[in-house]
Amino acid sequence: MKTSEIMAKLQAKYPGENEYLQAVQEVLESVEGVYNQHPEFEQAKIVERMVEPDRIFTFRVTWVDDNGVVQTNTGYRVQFNSAIGPYKGGLRFHRAVTPSMLKFLGFEQTFKNALTTLPMGGAKGGSDFDPKGKSNDEIMRFCQAFMLELWQCIGPDQDIPAGDVGVGGREIGFLYGMYKKLARQYNTGVLTGKGQTWGGSILRPEATGFGALYFTQHLLHHAGKDIKGLKVALSGFGNVAWGAATKATQLGAKVVAISGPDGVCEIPDGITPEMIDYMLVMRASNRDKVEDMATRFPGQAKFTAGKKSWSVPCDVALPCAFQNELSEDDAKELKANGCWCCCEVSNMGCQPGAIHFFQNNGVLFAPGKAVNAGGVATSGLEMTQNASHISWSAEEVDAKLHYIMKSIHEQCVKYGMQPDGTIDYVKGANIAGFMKVATAMLEQGTV
């Protein structure tokens, strides 16, 4: 296969689907060499099949706001690939959601899930519903209307949604309540990220951030470094940033920046447990303003409007917010201010120019599909607990999460080892995930 030829065809077929094309390009560039050593992949047209989702459901979601006004949004579920297990991936509620965004996320999810060592295929879904400024009742009514359509497409052995940007424990609760009413079955395994008293895994809310820090620790140890005492700048203040801030602080690092769409909060003495708790309050308020942290903790957090976390001097940068949130210019500014490691926690958080800059300028870099896989891995553990009607303790889940992140790091090292002894984590993660999915597709025939 030739990446350029496949990309030209996809660009002509899906013009303007920029995020999707970006995600495919990155994977194909990484796997081209390995792929071409396997004529059986080429014969079965594995790549041409793998870049297309199995199917996409699109539906209208109509609900009534607090003023009695009827509102209409669009809902989607992209079932991308089920070679190694049932479709699995989150739901994103954000005003910018498009089919292109969900196709990129579903594609990434396929490889990420393969890295977790657990049997899960890839999917993603969501809606252009904007949670910002919505009341709790509005969120509930939207979730119920969304599930009214989605429930026919999902099931514990078919497709298992979870949270993502704009969808946390509260939304999963509302979605599950409606699913249960429609299906007339207590199928706990149909959604993950549930409440702890009704089938949810202990540590699922923390898992993406905790897993990201375990991966970062392995990466640093492999490079002969330790996280203790390092300055960490992270972006966002949602669930993922909260988990990352919690674990980074526990491991002895100093979190010196968090951010939001409105700007950055610099925290020179490091984030405190009270501030970490306040991140949850900020998320639940649906205001989407990081400035609230500086208002609540004046003297400790300094807010600057319109700036990103990447302007704050740090050792380690952890993008935890949204795709393409870190540009090449941001990468240059980080490096100029002393940053020497970037672990992408958001899905495709760094623009291609930023990744190339990091890789060519001695900044350790690891991609989201390896770094953030602890979230979906813990979802996989939740599915196991649901299927066997048991509940594991926080210690048991944490130990399994640790083991999985270690194994993901090992896979990256195995497939990403360069002749000079350094690790190309992008290549490593892409090749490891690709080989697993491609082999399963080949063994299952032309379907």
CB-wise, 53 or 375, nearer to ligand GLU? 375
In one-letter notation, the amino acid at residue 389 is H
Near ligand GLU in 45-104, by CB under 6 A: 88-90
Rounded-to-integer distance, Cα 189 and Cα 176, Å: 10
Look at the block and give the residue holding tokens 């957090």.
Answer: 301
List the beta bridge partners of residue 75: 59, 127
- How many residues sit in the footprint of ligand GLU (CB under 6 A)? 11
CB-wise, 88 or 247, nearer to ligand GLU? 88
Order of all β-strands in the sheet with 70-81: 55-64, 70-81, 122-127, 87-93, 159-162
- Specify the length of the chain in residues: 447
Q: Is 312 in the site for ligand GLU (CB under 6 A)?
A: no
Q: Is 375 in the site for ligand GLU (CB under 6 A)?
A: yes
Q: Could you confirm whether 9 is annotated as catalytic?
A: no
Q: Among 73, 217, 379, 385, which residue sits at the site for ligand GLU (rule: CB under 6 A)?
A: 379
Q: Which residue among the candidates 88, 103, 112, 124 is catalytic per the annotation?
A: 124
Q: Is 110 in the site for ligand GLU (CB under 6 A)?
A: no
Contact letters for ligand GLU, residues 160-199 (x by CB under 6 A):
--x-x---------------------------x-------
Q: Is 247 in the site for ligand GLU (CB under 6 A)?
A: no
Q: Is 266 in the site for ligand GLU (CB under 6 A)?
A: no
Question: Minimum distance between the CB of residue 423 and ligand GLU, rounded to whole angstroms?
Answer: 22
Question: Minimum distance between the CB of residue 373 and ligand GLU, rounded to whole angstroms?
Answer: 7
Q: Is 408 in the site for ligand GLU (CB under 6 A)?
A: no
Q: Is 17 in the site for ligand GLU (CB under 6 A)?
A: no
DSSP 290: T
Nearest to 95 by CA among 67, 123, 128, 126: 128
- 129 touches 93 (CB < 8 A): yes
- 391 touches 385 (CB < 8 A): yes
Question: Minimum distance between the CB of residue 251 and ligand GLU, rounded to whole angstroms?
Answer: 22
Question: Minimum distance between the CB of residue 369 and ligand GLU, rounded to whole angstroms?
Answer: 9
Q: Is 116 in the site for ligand GLU (CB under 6 A)?
A: no
Structure tokens at 3: 């990446």
Q: 275 Cβ partners below 8 Å, 6+ apart? A: 267, 293, 297, 300, 301
Structure tokens at 432: 């490891």
Taking phi first (over 0 means left), then psi (-120 to 50 degrees means alpha), and beta for anything else, what does residue 34 get? alpha
Active site residues: 124
Name the site residues for ligand GLU (rule: CB under 6 A): 88-90, 112, 162, 164, 192, 347, 375-376, 379
